[in-house]
Amino acid sequence: MKKVFTLLLALCIFSSCQQKLLYPLKGNYPGNYALVTDRSPDEVWNDILAYCSQSGIELKITDRKSGLIISKWYRLRTYTFENQDGTLQENGADVVIGCETPGKFIGDCQAPNIIWTNIIFKLNERSSKTALTVRLSDLIAWYSRWEYLKEVKSTGVLEKQIIERIK
C-alpha cells in the first residue's frame, strides 16, 4: 500500500509540473531609431518634452548637458506575436513577444496582462545638425503576478511615431 501511495504522489507531482515551451523570435528588430535634422538641439529638446507631456509620458531623467531624457516606466498598449516564418501577425503593434506556452501548440502563447518600458531619448549635436536617437529599454511583459515573458522586442512603431511628431 505504501508503494502505491508513493507512486500516486509522484504522478501527481510530475503531472502538475509542466515545462514551458519557448518559441524564440526569428525576425530582425533594430533597437535604435534615429532622426538627423537641421533644427537646433534646443528646439528638438523642447519638442521631446512637449511630446512626452501631451502623451502622458512621465520623465525620470532630463539631463540637458548630456542630451539624455529617460522616461519613468511607461505602459505599452499593443503587442503581437510572430508567424512561423518570423513575420509579425499584426503590423501596428508596439512590441513583438516570443511565444511561451505551457501547451504543445504555438496557438497557446501566453498573452501579457501588462507591458512596461522605459523610453530613452538621446540628443547629439554633430556639425550644425542635431541627431536624435529613440529606443525602448528594459521591456518587460508580465502575464501573471510573478511571471514575465522572456522575449519582448520593440517593433519600432512607437519610436517611429515619436520621431514623426518631433521632425
Sequence ranges of the domains in the chain: 21-166
pLDDT beneath 70, residues of the chain = 1-21, 102-107
Q: List all residues 6 or more positions away from 51 whose beta carbon is below 8 Å from its beta carbon.
A: 57, 162, 165, 166
C-alpha to C-alpha distance for 151 and 127, rounded to whole angstroms? 38
pLDDT confidence of residue 52: 96
Bridge-based pairing of strands 129-142 and 21-23 is unpaired
pLDDT confidence of residue 54: 96
pLDDT confidence of residue 116: 95
CATH top-level class of 21-166: alpha beta
Answer for the pair 100, 22: CB distance below 8 angstroms, yes or no: yes
C-alpha to C-alpha distance for 82 and 94, rounded to whole angstroms? 13
pTM of the shown model: 0.81
Answer for the pair 159, 136: CB distance below 8 angstroms, yes or no: yes
Answer for the pair 143, 152: CB distance below 8 angstroms, yes or no: no
pLDDT confidence of residue 14: 46
Strands across the sheet containing 152-154: 79-80, 95-97, 152-154
pLDDT confidence of residue 106: 53
